[in-house]
Structure 1
């Protein structure tokens, strides 16, 4: 049985990736250099901005981690770009806001565990797995829901799920795409007939072109892009109830203990940003396309604005999140079950 190892960039050892121990990864994070807001510097595979440990009893710097491109997308990214985040948080006493970019959720989890972040924006699967291990985080917000995952095949390769038997399929383990792939194979009753290997999304196109893998379970934007490049699409999570993903914003309990008003204030900021990006959709799509380097038509397909939540806990998002949690627990991928209501941060 597959099992997630929280805090590592991969879950199983394979030809595509090697694992760092938690201690080594934390050392790498501590070696990063502090930067001002909007700047980015690299440390190994993690691009981080000021992730040094901060005394939470005298907080003047808010440390935010996110998974993705050079800048965050969605309401968080828009709040940053438009100055909403800085303007409103300075009113709350935060003199600095720093951002750390991570290649995937498990790496961001490491920084949360190490006390190097206050807030994290990541996918549902790594966030749930971390909480299920008893790590003290609180759910602030479902920022996006019904995020589509895609199963894309190599050219001249399989064209159906049945043809994947005996084949090697890759995905970014620990992600919502991984959870989709596991659920999909379970639905097709072939979970033991397919070998799943870890591969970062940045390596997916080259691996498919070389024929290293028969198919790749990928993200909402890379899927349509690969399709536009002639790679056949076998399936998408949009065809299966409960297999699409959600994007979450979480915070550490140690941070919230010192900032009890933060959930309400931060959610108000992201709600304002969500409404603003919808009201200025063309400008937002230009921004999103610029930072992700995908054509704008791909962004419009992969990021429909109806998926962006204007409220912290939309009913459809909560239902999807509960289904994801139950699946991860039932498969032994999440260590223990917990109530979502107990995970949600209270707004003072």
Structure 2
């Protein structure tokens, strides 16, 4: 064999050997990578399983916590531990300016629960939101009809005027009921204005009046605006607050209503045993508002001891019937089929 032939054979064998080694290393590397990824995925999955955040929406223009037993329980550190057996590791509260916005968040799966007025909750359910009612947080929510400065001084004087309202809220239901009762339904123009913009609209004179909800109503009155009517002065026009949970979350955690209501009841007992501490909490949560305003907004008799009461369910049914008569519900349903039965 000549040297040239030997050289050619040697180079060919060397090339084949190098190619085999490179191929082997490549295959080894490729085989190892999925194992590493799978291991990382398993660890990530394990971490995710350990974390279950309960996302709760509520209505507020200034507070970061709901003012009531639920906010008190999270402030005192008792709410999350009470839900530990469900796998809940954290409860996050998200404020919304109004019920319609909260409904949108529920519809897009950004929330698991909602604490808000009966009107938007009913409208949402009738529109197809898959929710279940687990309690009534408040029974007898007041609303204040506030007028612009140097404006109308009686409901009768609203004839021919423009009134603002956040449509789809419990003050909206109060306003419609009041105008109907006073025979003014066809003699005023009702326009949509978010509650956050209402004070400015009154100051500019864009509207003659606006129905404010709890918290905001007494606040603007303390700033010099006049109230010419209140929901509590009319039978059937006060609102109720409700707690709802999505059907999806409830199906995965069927014990939530019982645990939630037990914790809420315990917090309410603490509040009623020490009301001044509760009002200090409420004042701080609402931006260090005056105690007198906070006490007028959140009287303790608003909060029922039981998840459902005869009075609360009567008001809820009355509101649903009114909304249906006003053609504000896309479908009809029975309250008893919506609510989760108490254990």
- Name the TM-score, length of structure 1 as normaliser: 0.81
Give the Cα separation in 1 of the matches to 2:114 and 2:51.
Answer: 17
Shift of 1:134: 2.5
Q: Does 1:67 align with 2:59?
A: yes
Match of 1:172 in 2: 166
* 1:216 equivalent in alignment to 2:210: yes
Q: Of residues 286, 289, 292 in structure 2, which corresponds to 1:297?
A: 292
Structure 1 stretches of 5 or more lacking a match? 1-55
- Indicate the SS of the match to 1:98: strand
Matches within 5 A, 1:50-89: 60-68=52-60, 69-89=63-83
- Equivalent of 1:276 in 270, 294, 304: 270
Partner of 1:196: 190
Where do 5+ consecutive residues of structure 2 fail to align? 1-47
Q: Does 1:246 align with 2:240?
A: yes
1:345 aligns with one of 334, 340, 343? 340
Structure 1 residue 186 and structure 2 residue 180: aligned?
yes
What are the superposed Cα offsets for residues 289-333 of structure 1, whole Å, 9 maximum, x if unpaired? 112132110111121101112210022111111111110011101
Aligned to 1:126: 120
Q: 1-side partners of 2:216 and 2:52: how far apart?
A: 37
Is the deviation greater in 270-279 or in 197-206? 197-206
Contact 2:64 / 2:94 at 8 angstroms: preserved in 1? no
Counterpart in 1 of 2:101? 107
Q: TM-score, normalised by structure 2?
A: 0.82
Answer yes or no: is the 8 Å Cα contact 1:180–1:237 preserved in 2: yes
- Shift in Å, 1:268: 0.7
Deviation at 1:104?
1.0
2:138, 2:303 within 8 Å by CA — same for their partners in 1? yes
Matches of 2:215 and 2:113, distance apart in 1: 24
4+ residue segments displaced more than 3 Å: 56-59
Describe the SS at the equivalent of 2:240.
strand
Match of 1:147 in 2: 141
Which of 155, 158, 162 is equivalent to 1:161? 155
Specify the alignment match of 1:286 in structure 2: 280
Aligned mates of 2:139, 2:50 — CA distance in 1: 35
Cα distance, 1:223 vs. partner? 2.0
- Structure with higher helix content: 2
Deviations 1:177-211, CA, capped at 9 Å, x for gaps: 01100110011111111111122222222221221
Deviation at 1:232, TM superposition (A): 1.8
